[in-house]
A and B are shown apart, each in its own frame.
Chain A
Amino acid sequence: MLGYILRRIGMMIPTLIVISMISFIIIQLPPGDYLTSYAATLRATGDAVDEAELASLRERYGLGEPIYVQYYKWMSGILLRGDWGQSMEWRKPVKELIWERMALTVFLSLISILVSWFVAIPVGVFSATHQYSIPDYLFSALSFIGAGTPGFMLAMVVMWVAMRQFGLNVGGLFSEEYILEPWSWAKVVDMLKHLWIPVVVIAFESTAGSIRTTRANVLDELNKPYVETARAKGLRERNLVWKYPVRVAMNPFFSTVGWTLAGLISGQTLIAVVLSLQTNGPMMLRALRSQDMYLAGSFLFLLSVLTVIGTLVSDVLLAWVDPRIRMEG
């Protein structure tokens, strides 16, 4: 087991190095850099563009230097000093920017994932054990809809319905008064009131998929001989179902849990843009658009690192749960 983990970690390091290089190259792909797009914005609004100031900014951020020099500066900053660079648009350190929104992003994503699991697994098991009943058909129809409707479209429709029917002011996680306030009970309560719409929208799609997977897997298991043996031995149906087939059916969840780690951080970008949530997703979009090099590069790098770690985590989990993989791995 330990050998398996060590081997995987060893393979991870070169992958991470290459990923960091690729992220940096992708960010540098658009022609020009932050300052050219900044100057273009200034010109578009009619402000004067001070060439000397631009030149000094360029010097300061090292934008004129060849790409490998810039990459080296960035990487050495991250590895040696924990300095992820400076965001040119926000004029703050990148680390601070990401961290500010991190808590909210992770919280929202965690809640969505937990909700989706706690809803999908019981519903899926129920669907499988009561196959072809009316609730089963209902849940299947719901999961088809959930699987087919893209998230951001659902967000827009939910926004429209909430506005039309309930007169709610949707958008953002806080009401007007609380946005800049320090944390207090009242603020938490206000957030909870606004929280259910984003959570429902984000969780809907993954819940639908999970219901179908759970149902299919549990159905497969229920036909196996060991279930019949357990029944013959006198185990109560409910205990039987939850103790044995469901555990086996949980296999795919373990293998995909790793990818949820990266999803946690990027926080469902499209939905966040629609609902104007203050999470990481919209910020990354802005950074990409304005070529804010360090911010965008750090985001891409962070996401890729988390995906790799997540894959490792899910592989280890799967190996721990399923002894066959340990033997072959």
Chain B
Amino acid sequence: MTVSEPQDLNTAEVQAATAQECPPLESNSEEHLEAPAAVLDAEEDRLYVAGQWQLMWWKFRKHKMALVGAGILIVFYLIGIFCEFVAPYNPEAYFIRYKMAPPTPLRIVDATGKLRAPFVYHRDRSKDPETLRDIYTENNEITYPVHFFVKGEPYKLWGIWESDIHLFGLGPDIEDQGVFLFGADRMGRDLFSRLCYGARLSLSIGLIGVFLSLALGIVLGGISGYYGGRIDTAIQRVIEFIRTIPTIPLWMALSAALPADWPVVKMYFGITIILSLVGWTGMARVVRGRFLSLRQEDFVLAARLCGSSEFRIIIRHMVPSFLSHIIASLTLSIPGQILGETGLSYLGLGLRAPAISWGVLLQEAQNIRSLAQAPWLLFAPALAVILTVFAFNFLGDGLRDAADPYAR
């Protein structure tokens, strides 16, 4: 998609040409041959001289759901990046007295009906005499105010910066009470903190895997499409062959091949490489198709005649033409990778404890005791995954509509 040029030049030329070739027929047709207004108003002028990315951004802004999706994703990724700061507790810290505790209700209206700063009530634990189940009752007398930017347990942000300030919490004095926004699991660990740390791994695996696929796909698809002929056929055979192996069994088999005792980071990269090994084929096909059709375009010929090197033609002229479409495909394939990692970890083949990802959290929720007594253990990670997938789908839809040059 080339940069649009001011329209009035071309129109004038076209007018001149047609005026010579087609003699005026009847009186009404003369109206059609009149020159249009040569002066455009400011709005249209801005439209005509806007660059490609500007046009995309304007179009994208109109798609409300895509904006919502983008907003959700920005929040999630910020939480993932700053998870040590956002989470009130260390994900491995457990509160012995609050195993399987339901979520703590945050209140702003106290028992007398007054509006106060956010606080939580003290919770007593008692055992049901028949089933020996833990019952948590709130004690209206004792309140603990919830502070923001509070000192909590020390941590190292990204392993580099030491700090002990958390986004919210009960304060450093209160050791045995916890504010569990999403409840606690069977060891008394705060689920919200674990979700935040899990966001870091789950969300980044999708991104990295997709970028690996993208790199592989663009390189191989580009070579295949640009040179054509036998290289093209060979690469296409390889792609078809990889596609014949069904995805999920392949993932399962490859993940089972990773030794269980690898350290978390190594396992993480192993999983991303496995996920991207299958994904690049789709990207390569798309890129190849675009290259094949763009190869014959006039502007490529013009660039070649001007003496540009092949490399420069590809990078400077051809790639920007389909970059927008590629970005749209990218965003639509990230959820597939996130779901793949979640599914694999849930089966026990991907990341395992003590690594924390949403799939690992779901695996811990997969037993009848959790389902019956602590459904929040299931719903919180499930909701997180579903929201992320939705957000990416809407974002991808919006980007695809914005990048489509034929839609008006």
Contact = CB atoms under 8 A, between A and B. Distances in A.
A29 B254 contact: yes
Given A270-B343, A307-B244, A300 B253 contact: yes
- With most chain B CB atoms within 10 A of its CB, the pick from A263, A266, A288 is A288
B371 A19 contact: no
Contacts of A22: 245
B194 to A, nearest CB: 18
Interface string A124-162: 000000000000000000001001111011001101100
B41 to A, nearest CB: 33
Contacts of A251: none
A269 to B, nearest CB: 6
Contact of B389 (A148, A160, A262, A300): A148
Contact of B246 (A274, A296, A304): A304
Contact of B253 (A15, A156, A160, A296): A296
Given A274-B366, A308-B244, A159 B371 contact: yes
Nearest to A306: B246
Given A304-B245, A307-B245, A163 B372 contact: yes
B4 to A, nearest CB: 28
Interface string A63-97: 00000000000000000000000000000000000
B98 to A, nearest CB: 22
- With most chain A CB atoms within 10 A of its CB, the pick from B241, B342, B372 is B241
B386 A149 contact: yes
A150 B246 contact: no
B339 interface: yes
B346 interface: yes
Contacts of B244: 15, 19, 304, 307-308, 311
B252 interface: yes
A273 interface: yes
Contact of B252 (A19, A156, A284): A284
B343 A288 contact: no
A35 interface: no
Interface residues of B, number: 37
Contacts of A26: 250, 253-254, 257
A294 B250 CA distance: 16
A150 B335 CA distance: 10
Interface residues of A, number: 42
- With most chain B CB atoms within 10 A of its CB, the pick from A15, A153, A274, A289 is A153
Contacts of B253: 26-27, 29, 288, 296, 300
A61 B204 CA distance: 43
A153 B362 CA distance: 9
B259 A156 contact: no
A323 interface: no
A227 to B, nearest CB: 22
Interface string B346-388: 1111000000000000100110000110010011001001100
Contact of B382 (A157, A263, A273, A300): A157
Interface of B: 240-241, 244-246, 248-250, 252-254, 256-259, 335, 339, 342-343, 346-349, 362, 365-366, 371-372, 375, 378-379, 382, 385-386, 389-390, 393
Interface of A: 15, 18-19, 22-23, 26-27, 29-31, 144, 147-150, 152-153, 156-157, 159-160, 163, 262-263, 266, 269-270, 273-274, 284-285, 288-289, 291, 296, 299-300, 303-304, 307-308, 311
